[in-house]
Structure 1
């Protein structure tokens, strides 16, 4: 654990004592993520290439004997408390009764419990497999599993919120692993990523794909996760930054976003319109050769949204091949093309981000 990790874990434990008046049973953590390439392809059943970063969310957990779950965070002054039995009634129908930040951990608890009672996780086939996660950590855990005990959870994080680094997936990953281990549930990291996505989609109300959760739960040092978002097959791809003498620089543009309230849903709806117009289940099934026909049957905005996703899927495949054959110094043109497509076709860039890209290229 790095010095920063230790400080954040200590902050979670200290918050637990301050808010709940007792020592936590243990702490767990999960990282944020950066997506190297493959933007808005995940919920279109496409390909993505994210990797975990060093910034993490830590959760301190303590069990309780009354079937209640309480959550608190360094980012909020309140403690939110419900019973485990209430979760089914709260999600998704009454989620707006809860502060938005609390829906992430409480939604994970709901989705974990739902995974045990036979409730299907939408869009997930049983029996999928992936690489073992190395980035989700049991920082400290003294007690053994306690079947479906009530829990108190206190969160501290150094993953910037709203900065595009998947602070939500880090919360979900840390919560999911902490609860699964505390409750003695046999859920691998792919299953826990599915839990996190369900929480974000239904408990929070953000129509995201599964990329963020998979990157947080499966990431390895100096490697990316090449993920097929349809099959959930995941392969580790060596980034080779260390061998090439490269350092990753994450630039904060100062612009914040929210999946739940931003333009995310509008973009996703445009993708679904394009797939429906072509009579396919998802844009994963569309090739560049289909684009001229699509241009004749949909409006310009829908066409450009689809063109981004279709060409971005190909760029992911090309980036993986280039990394394996030539190394990280050869992928620059693909990254630049990806940004241009996001800026011009998907229209998700902003002047601050464009400036950061232009300065980096200069």
Structure 2
């Protein structure tokens, strides 16, 4: 059964009636630019074909109720109580439900809307975005919720404002200190294009990737090693970046260039310096990747993908042995370039591969994992796809 049908069926089982409408939003793959977003830097993600679907119906009692195929116990609160729940009492809400409830709260806050002036809603979710793979299942649920409520409540927010509401929900209602890349990719996606995003200004340039015309595929290698952004490793990296910016006397690491690294090395302990070095060089790699795509085409970005992984492995230290094995094996089997993607500490790696070599590279990775005694990875190709909207 498709996720769209599953959401629709779940809504009927919840309410006994058909939904008034259905919306969906995609996950994302980040082509390059990792941990640069919350440093006001540059990122280059695209939306995946995998989507989270939500079926919505209105109710007359001023309450919001959410349910999901991965937790069929409904969570229900009064819209008027969202302000008291977030962020102070967020732990009273089961974690998955904080995402849609947090988006509702953030939208009401952003627009100054009185909860009494909008209709209550029932929301039923189903998704085919792999959870925990670093493909931003969280941004997909935020994007689907934001699109559905924006339309239903007549808020008339643009896509950037909806992405901002999603980020606020994740930061404050869920408690995960992420940047805005995932939400922007989910809202702004387009077929065979990436979103070159300046995370400070939120200027976004939808940029053709040219994978299809070049006969290339992007292979996702989900290690099935689970991670959670709300736990320590992510927060520690973010704190190190903020410490590095403070030592350098700049608002954010975005304000440093590669030429500043020699001075940074003199001012910082080794760990802080390596965290800073990753972000500064990764920002440059994003700029180089966008320029290279325009000037030389997608086959020329392989070295930048490789360098990005090395930096995340050695300087930011967010890779794991399974990710390293996937990347190294894919390269050895003929990938043009490969890197881990997402927040790290598990999740997925990506490899840019000639279309006729996908099977060969996939088999090599599966065999390598088997020989290492790791659980079998989940391998699939993704094509850049459309962003959030009503279905």
Same fold (TM over 0.5): yes
| CA deviation map 1:112-137 (0-9, x unaligned) | 00011189xxxxxxxxxxxxxxxxxx
Given candidates 137, 154, 179, the residue that maps to 1:209 is 179
Deviates more, 1:23-32 or 1:285-294: 285-294
2:43 alignment partner, SS class:
strand
Question: Is 1:26 the counterpart of 2:17 in the alignment?
Answer: no
1:77 Cα offset (Å): 2.6
Mapped pair 1:346 → 2:338? no
Contact 1:15-1:154 at 8 Å conserved across structures: yes
Decide which of 66, 69, 79 is 2:64's aligned counterpart. Answer: 69
1:69-88 → structure 2 map (5 Å cutoff): 69-88=64-83
- Listed one character per residue, the Cα deviations across residues 122-166 of structure 1 (whole Å, up to 9, x for unaligned) are xxxxxxxxxxxxxxxxxxxxxxxx961000000000001111000
Distance 1:100 1:352 in 2: 27
8 Å Cα contact 1:147/1:184 also seen in 2: no
The counterpart of 1:59, out of the listed 47, 54, 57, is: 54
Instruction: Give me the whole-angstrom Cα distance separating, in 1, the residues matched to 2:267 and 2:276.
Output: 12
Q: Match for residue 173 of structure 1?
A: 143
Contact map agreement 1:147 1:183 (CA 8 A) in 2: no
Distance 1:93 1:338 in 2: 37
The 8 Å contact of residues 105 and 171 in structure 1, kept in 2 or not, is answered as yes
Q: 1:97 aligns with which of 92, 96, 111?
A: 92
Matches of 2:263 and 2:219 in 1, distance apart? 40
Find the counterpart in structure 2 of residue 266 from structure 1. 236
Instruction: Write the deviation string for residues 8-51 of structure 1: whole angstroms up to 9, x where unpaired.
Output: 11100100111222211111000000000000000000000000
What value does the CA root-mean-square deviation take over the aligned residues?
1.3
Q: Which digits, 9 at most, give the CA deviation of each residue in 1:166-210, with x for residues without a partner?
A: 000000000000000000111010100000000000000000000
The structure with the largest strand share of the pair is 2
Call closer, same or farther: CA 1:118–1:40 in 2, change over 3 Å. farther
**Count of aligned pairs:** 331
Secondary structure (helix, strand or coil) at the match of 2:304 reads helix
The answer on whether the counterparts of 2:132 and 2:224 sit within 8 Å (CA) in structure 1 is: no
Partner of 1:12: 7
| SS of the residue 1:201 aligns to | helix
**2:221 aligned residue:** 251
5 Å-filtered alignment, 1:115-264, equals: 115-117=110-112, 148-264=118-234
Matched residue, 1:108: 103
- The residue aligned with 1:38 is 33
**Please, which runs of 5 or more residues in structure 1 have no aligned partner?**
120-145
1:90-130: CA deviations, max 9, x gaps? Answer: 000000000000000000000000011189xxxxxxxxxxx
Q: Are 1:285 and 2:255 matched, yes or no?
A: yes
SS at match of 1:202: helix
Return the TM-score normalized by structure 1. 0.90
2:301 paired with 1:331: yes
Is 1:147–1:182's contact at 8 Å kept on the other side of the alignment?
A: no
Compute the TM-score of the two structures, normalised by the length of structure 2: 0.83
Contact map agreement 1:26 1:62 (CA 8 A) in 2 = yes
